[in-house]
Amino acid sequence: MEVTRMMCNRMVNPLGYSLDRPRLSWVTEADDATKQIACQVQVAADEAFDTILHDSGQSKVIDSIGYTLPMKLEPCTRYYWRVYVWTDAGEVRSPIAWFETAKMDEPWQGKWITPEWEDNSIHPYVRKGFDINKEVAQARLYICGLGLYEAEMNGKRIGNEHLSPYFNSYTDWLQYQTFDVTDHLSQGKNVLGAMLGNGWYKGRFGFTNEKGIYGDRFALLCELVVHYTDGSTDIIATDESWKTKPSYIMGGNIYDGEVQDANKLVKDWSTPTILDDDWDGVRTIDIDFNLLEARRSIPVLIKETIQPIEVIHTPKGEVVLDMGQNMVGWVRFNIDAPKDTVINLQYGEDMQDGCFYRENLRSAKAEFTYISNGEPREVQPHFTFYGFRYVKVEGWQEEVKPEDFTGCVVYSDLETIGHIETSNPMVNRLFLNTMWGQKGNFLDVPTDCPQRDERMGWTGDAQVFSGTACFNMDSNAFFHKYLYDLAKEQKNLDGVVPHFIPSIGLSKKVEDRYQDAGSSAWSEAATVIPWNVYLHYGDKAILEQQLHSMKDYVDSIRRQDDGSRLWNTGFHFGDWLALDGEGDEFHRSGGTPTDLIATACYAYSAGLVAKAARVLGEKKLAKEYERLSKEVKQAFCEEFVTPRGRLVVNTQTAHILALFMDLVPDKLRKRILDSLVKNLEENNYYLKTGFVGTPYFCRVLSENGYNDLAYRLLLNEEFPSWLYSVKLGATTIWERWNSLLPDGRFGELGMNSLNHYTYGSIVEWMYRNMCGINPVEEFPGFKRVRLAPQPNAQLQYAKATLNSAAGRYESGWRYEEDNVHYHFRIPFDAQAELILPSAKISTTVVNGVPLQEQKQIRCSEQEDRLIIMLKTGTYEIQVS
């Protein structure tokens, strides 16, 4: 037995985060045990646990998916914790984990500083020399740089993060990071410094192509707190004594890339060997200290590296690297070229007519330029990123070889927890495309695309994909930060949710609030994402953090409905990019009326507010929003459903919403379902849905008796379908069903990303319905699950694994002759309600023994299904 995956707020040993009320979680792995008898949590001030600060005592009610510490935390303090678990097969003690608080309410001694130059386009080095003359016990650096920063000390980079302090609503809050720099210090002379870049804060960004949306000056704030073994402390903080000098970064931003001139490089600039007597001064800059908060963004890292698979020489004479995978990050290379050699890299997603192509990036230059100083050097950008598969190389002095370049895959530090495999290689590639889409677009915020002049945190994409995201990767901390920003932005708009988070200043104009904010399905990010996070991780903290946001969003609709309980005001994107729209101007919104979609979302979100309130014990609030949801559903039926059950709008999405969101009485569901199936038949069993209807389509079919049609939709290979893009060689999810035409040429260029994760939401159906792993609302966090796999002979086998908050689940099936063989694994101290379609007790064998002979297993037959209650263990089940 062992205790693993010990986390605080779903992070491993978090340092300097805004922890609020720390929530500890862990997983007990025990092959010979099935249930937890009791548990004990201890927190100490020291790793030896000589000074215990909290002891829960042996308790029968502590849950491994989340134990909230009932203790007051001190600033700048490391806490150690461990757990004891008693099981039906003995006891086990965990390893020791820790978390460390940030400054919290401690005042800053440092000042915001900026170079004294008037030219605010010059990218600076900023540094400070200091002496260390005592033995160091520990040192912490608290730092924020605007727009982006990379910190160094004594010639060594601090941390391995990129693009810090990340992307948030800078007008509402600024997050600082904390680093353990004890090992960076030396006796004698030391230097602390940072390079600064434009980033989202002051670089070109957003639809308006403006620079300096949040600010127009580089700025740095930091405090290096050094504790000595004699008990004394020094603080080296930013002030007017710091020095600055132009760096070798000559320009750049998120969209256009970066220019580096190594002739301007100050070698060893952050070491004492370089004197700064001739460096320029800095001045203080007025930035509100009340905006400063401890970090919430998890690190953005180089998570993987890949090598180019080929060097292509095009008909135009271009030299192009093929990475073999549409990815996000950059290419790193080693160079030893003559002085003033100019290396230029251009990044793109596709080749057209055998040549490099990037017209779909719109105005984004997506370039990297390096001017050599004649010295050998490893080169990569500092303050930008690219979405690409292909890289055009210009200026390389010798033959371009794949081994000269390394692709750095960059995304937020998310643990991959889910995997799916089937007998169909194209479906497997579709799953991988979805995973790569999540990697590429989960870069601090859930962006809509990582390559063109957009890369914004669109709410609609995030909410429809959030279920898939939580199955694929542990997205708890990631979404905590995104939703925190969402709630901050809402406060500026009386609860209305901007179209993208952060809103990059657009929605601050009150007169434009309903143009830049408030679309149904997009705004559902406020309600759907926190509920999905709660379901997957059993995390009440996300509901506590977001309940007011959820409520305020629904209230913003209620203020518009004039008592009609219809949402028929404001701007809405509709069923974005659906294929059933009419007309050139508005075809992107699809054919489903926006007021139908909006009213459906109104009812659905009101219901989610009620559920969240009930979880948190807010009974009065829960009843109010349950009543509101029912009223909106009634209004929906009166407006859009005839008394006999016919929807007045014959689109696939209208029917899907009515069924998935439970908007109609049970007596009308069959007619609406029949109508949906007829619509599908009339379209030759191909979907016509967009961003709103697609995520739920297969789920509605599988959960309402048409599982075969769900598989048919999945396995269609011609346009429009998921496998159409796979057939054409896609390695990520496309924005449009036909981003590329059958001949491989681009469709519309104005809005056409080849890495746009929304339609990857089909993967949630794969986990839930194909493989059958479903979280249960009454027992969130997968302590109890509903296992309901729905096999179909159009595949020979399918299997999924999920390292859930409660432990590892496995669920799969395969066909062998006339039998269906199932494999399940239920983790320690968990239970599953297994629902097997078309199975009977008399024809089912569990672990080699007929089920009817296993009296210790609870089971029952209900109509066309068999229900079996499974406890911890591994099960091989055969149904004849």
pLDDT digits (tens, 9 = 90+) for 486-525: 999 999 899 999 999 999 875 444 444 446 789 999 999 9
pLDDT confidence of residue 43:
98
Span 130-141, mean pLDDT? 97
Paired with 824 in beta bridges are 811, 875
CA–CA gap between residue 848 and residue 499 (Å, rounded): 55
Q: Above 90 in pLDDT, residue 207?
A: no
Contacts 24+ apart (CB under 8 A), 550-553: 550/526, 550/605, 550/608, 550/609, 550/612, 551/609, 551/613, 551/621, 551/625, 552/490, 552/494, 552/495, 553/490, 553/495, 553/496, 553/497, 553/523, 553/526, 553/527, 553/605
pLDDT confidence of residue 514:
46
Q: Above 60 in pLDDT, residue 81?
A: yes
Nearby residues of 774 by Cβ (< 8 Å), 6 or more positions away: 768, 785, 786, 787, 788
Instruction: Answer whether 0.85 is exceeded by the pTM.
Output: yes
pLDDT confidence of residue 587:
63
Nearby residues of 478 by Cβ (< 8 Å), 6 or more positions away: 298, 412, 414, 442, 446
Kindly report the average pLDDT of the chain as a whole number: 96
616-641 pLDDT, tens digit each? 999 999 999 999 999 999 999 999 99
29-70 pLDDT, tens digit each? 988 899 999 999 999 999 999 999 999 999 999 999 999 999
pLDDT confidence of residue 584:
54
Nearby residues of 28 by Cβ (< 8 Å), 6 or more positions away: 1, 2, 3, 4, 36, 64, 85, 87, 92, 807, 828, 829
Span 380-389, mean pLDDT? 98
pLDDT confidence of residue 509:
47
Share of the chain above pLDDT 70, in %: 98
Q: Above 60 in pLDDT, residue 205?
A: yes
Span 172-193, mean pLDDT? 98
Q: Above 50 in pLDDT, residue 585?
A: no
pLDDT confidence of residue 510:
44
Concatenate the DSSP letters of all residues of 167-216 into one string: -S-TTT-EEEEEEE-GGG--SEEEEEEEEEE-HHHHSSBTTTTBS-SS-S
pLDDT confidence of residue 508:
46
Share of the chain above pLDDT 90, in %: 94
- By annotation, the residues acting in catalysis are 454, 735
Q: Above 70 in pLDDT, residue 6?
A: yes
Beta strands in 34-77 (DSSP E): 36-44, 52-55, 67-68
Please name each of the domains of the chain with its CATH number: 2-101 (2.60.40.10), 113-297 (2.60.120.260), 308-412 (2.60.120.260), 418-768 (1.50.10.10), 777-879 (2.60.420.10)
540-559 pLDDT, tens digit each? 999 999 999 999 999 999 99
Span 422-440, mean pLDDT? 98
Element (H, E) at 410: strand 405-412
Element (H, E) at 246: strand 243-246
420-430 pLDDT, tens digit each? 999 999 999 99
CA–CA gap between residue 535 and residue 805 (Å, rounded): 10
| Residue 764 banded pLDDT, cuts 50, 70, 90 | very high
φ/ψ (deg, to 5) at 449 = -165, 145
Span 778-792, mean pLDDT? 97
Of 512-516, 608-612, 669-673, 820-824, least confident by mean pLDDT is: 512-516
pLDDT confidence of residue 507:
40
